[in-house]
Amino acid sequence: MKLAYVIPFLALLTVNMYSQNTFPGLKSIMSEEEWKNSGLDKLSTEQIWIINNAIINNQIQHPVHTEAAGNNNTDAAKQSGTSAALSNIFSTFGLRVVPKSDWQSQPALKAKVISWVSANQFLLDNQQVWEGTESIPYELENKNIEIQARPLGNFALIVEGTNTTIRVIRIR
């Protein structure tokens, strides 16, 4: 199952669960194309049932409270409830929810590369290890770099003296 396809649908699922008190199941909230593209069509009925029940149980154990300042009809209440629900689902997978505009306000990480860890992984002076999701064509050792946040939890590496960005992920 491709996690890249499943996560947006889990977010949709959470919003759907927030607006309704019952969860109709993954298949009923996805189009046939989304169902196939996510890889869920390859799972057995029992496996889908287990996933649906895990989502329902998570919502029962961690209900979303939408009361803001004593008024549960406000837009702020709905927004905070949706954010809390998304945080619940995403944290189950070890992910963090960053609101759409938040990635733009995150400060860039500025550091110096100490050494290569492997062919495409490098160690920073703050002991973080990052890896290029695409080939890194530059020599990074002893270079100052900047890692900037991008939408959907992605990051871009900017190497001193270049005008190209490279997609990276944090390993450690």
Dump the DSSP string for 73-139.
TSHHHHHHHHHHHHHHHHHHTT-----TTHHHHSPPEEEEEEEESSSSEEEETTS-EEEESS---S-
Give the pLDDT confidence score for residue 38 in this predicted structure. Answer: 82
Round to whole Å and give the CA distance between 151 and 86.
16
Q: What percent of the chain has pLDDT over 70?
A: 60
Beta strand pairing call for 129-132 and 144-150: unpaired
Q: Which two tokens stand for residue 140?
A: 């990074």
- Mean pLDDT over all residues of the chain? 74
The single residue listed with the structure tokens 């100490």 is 114
Domain residue spans of the chain: 3-92, 104-170
Q: Is the pLDDT of residue 154 over 70?
A: yes
Find the mean pLDDT for residues 19-28.
Answer: 63
- Cα 123–chain centre separation: 23
Find the mean pLDDT for residues 139-152.
Answer: 90
Q: Using CA atoms in the order 48, 51, 55, 57, what is the torsion angle rounded to 10 degrees?
A: 110
Give the pLDDT confidence score for residue 62 in this predicted structure. Answer: 59
Indicate yes or no: pTM above 0.85. Answer: no
120 Rama class: left (phi>0) / alpha (psi -120 to 50) / beta: alpha
The single residue listed with the structure tokens 């290890």 is 129
